[in-house]
A and B are shown apart, each in its own frame.
Chain A
Amino acid sequence: MTVLIFKNLIRTKETSILFVMACFMLILPIVNLFNSDFMRISGEPESVSFLDFLAGEFDVQNMLILPMVVMAYLVVTAIYTPVATGRMFLYKDLSRTTIINAKVLALLGIYTIYVALQVAVTFGLYYLYIVRFDYASGLFLPASDASAAADVISIAGVVFGELLTIMVAVALATRFSTGIIMFGSILWICLCATLPQLAGARYAVPGGYGTLLPSLGLPVTLLLMLALSTVYAAGLYAYARRRFSRLEY
């Protein structure tokens, strides 16, 4: 069932838009033709590795917010709309747990392709274009382990935050209409962006653990981020599964 639902979702306009957004960094060569500070990259000579560039790319995508808005709308298409329109009749009385699991896995599959596209586009852009600039090192990893660790934590913070955005949308879609789903998802995105700046609340979101890196090291910091994200995801999934199993339409 997951494969069938995935095949339907990948043919939607929302998915096409999401994949186009994954290629957003391809505008960099065009932007550089203009004498503008927009998306300007700078640094010491040979200081920017591929991993540094990739971490920057994930940051840019995250700040755009639009990809996650589109992802939330895809959740609406996959979970809310079939209930609201009665399309759930197609499933007759198949296990609701099986259905919601298939939908969530299909959505995560779309997200995985989105991330993979970002990595692929960034890889191509770095080694075909960025390496021409003197700030590019041409190396896959940064020269220092500390920089590499910081890049990994930065990327993980974005990815965990986005995965939780999907789960927030899934949970909301089992109860509320499109407007509330979009509002709730965007609220979570904003929390992920702002809470890391607040000393008392930064550890409530995955992206707030970067400050622990110097003291705890990469494995422990990553583990803490993973543990927090898992707890959130499990709670949201449990709620969504329970609500979905009791839905009437």
Chain B
Amino acid sequence: MLTVSHLSKQYAGNPAYSLEDVSFTISNGEIVGLIGKNGAGKTTLMKMMAKAQRQTSGSIVYNGADIFSHDDMLDRFGIMIQPVFVPNISAEDNLRFYLGIHGDTAHERNIRPVLELVDMWRYRNRKPAGFSFGMKQRLALALALVNDPEFLILDEPFVGLDPDGVLQLITVLKQWAAERSIAMLISSHQLNELQELCDRFLFIKSGRLAAEFTGETGEITVIELSRPLTDAERASLIAETLQNSGRSAATIAPDGTSVEIDARSLELNKTIAALASTAGIKAIHDKSTQLNNYFGEGR
């Protein structure tokens, strides 16, 4: 499990924080999507997790150990934040070099399978300096996957892949997460792919963790209200939509400005009627578009 606690980053000479008081956890086998507009702090967060940048305050603990306490704590991590490679040696030699500097020659058996996975095996003897951007991206992905990592940090992994490649990557990542309990933090602007892949999402806005929500798609209806519900209206709604389980079918947002309910709930009509007659309904949409709304909000 990875636990990020009150992580902040302030660059020298800059009064503003690039990342401020971010806290979250990622469990083994969980795939978490990281979304936010350009400049929100996603890459800063990933770079601190990769120890390419030092934190101003806060901690990152992986399996009970603070990753900043010693060197070589990221041995079981696979990292793809930007396409990186040694330009004057072949693609295959790049993987050998990467495994060699980490003393991990045992994983050289993975070189062919991983290069085949990212459709780069036929280019294994070519030097990356002559690759297209997409090919460089796929080589970087191979470097992140070759050592059978337990935790993956992937920044825009779908860029450069054709639709078949995207589908294949999604399938493999989901399979790896399920079978090998690999945890992943994936940042992407390709929301459909993220939605297909991720269990949970973290929304970063202006350096802060603005929202955290699960990846329920298409089955949750979100009802946005014209005004926040009063305490009395909250209590009334909960009472009206009580289910046999003793829990309300409707989930009211903490600020009372929206209500979520299962799209197939028996209490759906009652909920809509109650809200229309009290706070008033501004919009109704399913949860799958909420991802787009968060991202669009950040534009």
Chain A positions near chain B (C-beta within 8 angstroms) = 1, 4-5, 8, 11-13, 85-96, 248-249
Are A85 and B84 in contact, CB atoms less than 8 angstroms apart?
yes
Q: Which of A13, A86, A91, A249 contacts B101 (CB 8 A)?
A: A91
Closest 4 CB pairs of A and B: A93-B51, A95-B71, A92-B74, A248-B53
Are B97 and A4 in contact, CB atoms less than 8 angstroms apart?
yes
Chain A residue, CB-CB nearest to B68: A93
Are B77 and A92 in contact, CB atoms less than 8 angstroms apart?
yes
Is B273 close to A, CB under 8 A? no
Chain A residue, CB-CB nearest to B80: A89
Are A90 and B71 in contact, CB atoms less than 8 angstroms apart?
no
Question: What are 15 of the A-B contact pairs (CB < 8 Å)?
Answer: A1-B100, A8-B86, A86-B84, A87-B84, A87-B86, A90-B84, A90-B97, A92-B50, A92-B79, A93-B50, A93-B72, A94-B71, A94-B102, A248-B52, A249-B47
Chain B residue, CB-CB nearest to A85: B84
Are B67 and A93 in contact, CB atoms less than 8 angstroms apart?
yes
Interface of B is mostly: loop
Are A89 and B101 in contact, CB atoms less than 8 angstroms apart?
no
Chain B residue, CB-CB nearest to A96: B71
User: Which residues of chain A are near B52, meaning CB under 8 Å?
Assistant: 86, 88-89, 248-249
Query: Once the chains are docked, how many angstroms separate the CA of A4 from the CA of B103?
Result: 11
Is B89 close to A, CB under 8 A? yes
Chain B positions near chain A (C-beta within 8 angstroms) = 47, 50-54, 67, 71-75, 77, 79, 81-82, 84-86, 88-89, 97-98, 100-102, 143
User: Which residues of chain B are near A11, meaning CB under 8 Å?
Assistant: 88-89
Query: Once the chains are docked, how many angstroms separate the CA of A13 from the CA of B87?
Result: 12
- The smallest beta-carbon distance between A218 and chain B, in angstroms, is 43
Query: Once the chains are docked, how many angstroms separate the CA of A96 from the CA of B54?
Result: 14
Query: Once the chains are docked, how many angstroms separate the CA of A66 from the CA of B71?
Result: 39
Query: Once the chains are docked, how many angstroms separate the CA of A5 from the CA of B75?
Result: 20
Total A-B pairs in contact (CB under 8 Å)?
66
- The smallest beta-carbon distance between B228 and chain A, in angstroms, is 43
User: Which residues of chain A are near B77, meaning CB under 8 Å?
Assistant: 92
Are A92 and B102 in contact, CB atoms less than 8 angstroms apart?
yes
- The smallest beta-carbon distance between A46 and chain B, in angstroms, is 48
Chain B residue, CB-CB nearest to A87: B84
Chain A residue, CB-CB nearest to B86: A8
User: Which residues of chain A are near B88, meaning CB under 8 Å?
Assistant: 8, 11-13
Are B72 and A90 in contact, CB atoms less than 8 angstroms apart?
no
User: Which residues of chain B are near A89, meaning CB under 8 Å?
Assistant: 50, 52, 79, 81-82, 84
User: Which residues of chain A are near B100, meaning CB under 8 Å?
Assistant: 1, 4
Are B98 and A90 in contact, CB atoms less than 8 angstroms apart?
yes
- The smallest beta-carbon distance between A82 and chain B, in angstroms, is 8
- Starting from the known contacts A4-B97, A8-B89, 13 additional A-B residue pairs (CB-CB under 8 Å) come to A8-B88, A11-B88, A85-B84, A86-B82, A87-B85, A88-B52, A90-B101, A90-B143, A91-B101, A92-B72, A94-B72, A94-B102, A249-B47
Query: Once the chains are docked, how many angstroms separate the CA of A94 from the CA of B71?
Result: 6
User: Which residues of chain A are near B89, meaning CB under 8 Å?
Assistant: 8, 11
